[in-house]
Amino acid sequence: MTVEACLAEKGYKLPQAAAPVASYLPVVVHGNLVHISGQLPFVDDELVTGKLGDDVSLEEGQKAAQACALMILAQVKAAGIELDRIERVVKLGVFVNSSADYTDQPKVANGASDLMVDVLAEAGKHARSAVGVAALPLGAAVEVDAIIALASD
């Protein structure tokens, strides 16, 4: 089954790849590695904003992280790379807009990690960091970046 067929079967829909909001490229390919800039969470075309531990629940944070993971795949596709070329998600970096005493960043990050494994199976298993931060661009609740290895053509 193709990655896109798996996405559809599981009820996931890739969003329109977001344009950069500053001076950077959303995707850089170097050799067989694809570096995807930090992606923000859009759910139903609305940016998920707020702070985990204050006004955003764990479940909302996980959904936001999942939306970031879908945006990562959308960016890969928008760069003209077939999703079926993904050989391995090497690493996800998950940044969680958190109150000072919030410690469930790994649980929030599972929203992105679980989606990658759900859609890509073994190739979706990855190394990861989950970091609490004081603020994110545009007030986003979560931001996720990625390094993905591609199979040779």
As a 3-state breakdown, the chain gives helix, strand, coil percent values, each rounded to 5, of 35, 30, 35
Number of domains into which the chain is organized: 1
Cα gap 18→1, rounded to integer Å: 27
Quick one: pLDDT at residue 7?
A: 96
* 74 assigned to some structural domain: yes
**152 pLDDT higher than 90:** no
Q: In what order do the strands lie in the sheet with 142-150?
A: 27-30, 33-39, 142-150, 86-97, 127-133
Quick one: pLDDT at residue 141?
A: 98
* 113 assigned to some structural domain: yes
pLDDT band at 74 (very low <50, low <70, confident <90, very high): very high
List, in order, residues 6 or more apart from 23 with CB less than 8 Å away. Answer: none
DSSP state of 24: S
* 92 assigned to some structural domain: yes
Q: Indicate the pTM of the whole model.
A: 0.97
Average pLDDT of span 23-47: 96
Q: How many CB atoms are closer than 10 A to CB 33?
A: 13
* 90 assigned to some structural domain: yes
Q: What confidence tens digit (pLDDT) does each residue in 109-142 have?
A: 999 999 999 999 999 999 999 999 999 999 999 9
* 133 assigned to some structural domain: yes
The one-letter code for the residue type at 97 is: N
Boundaries of domain holding 65: 3-12+26-150
**69 pLDDT higher than 90:** yes
Q: Of all residues in the chain, what percent carry a pLDDT higher than 70?
A: 100
Quick one: pLDDT at residue 85?
A: 97
User: Which residue in 3, 11, 134, 12 sits closest to 71, CA to CA?
Assistant: 12
* 17 assigned to some structural domain: no
Q: What confidence tens digit (pLDDT) does each residue in 8-22 have?
A: 999 999 999 999 989
* 18 assigned to some structural domain: no
Quick one: pLDDT at residue 146?
A: 98
pLDDT band at 82 (very low <50, low <70, confident <90, very high): very high
List, in order, residues 6 or more apart from 59 with CB less than 8 Å away. Answer: none
* 46 assigned to some structural domain: yes
Quick one: pLDDT at residue 60?
A: 97
Domain containing 77 — which CATH number? 3.30.1330.40
**150 pLDDT higher than 80:** yes
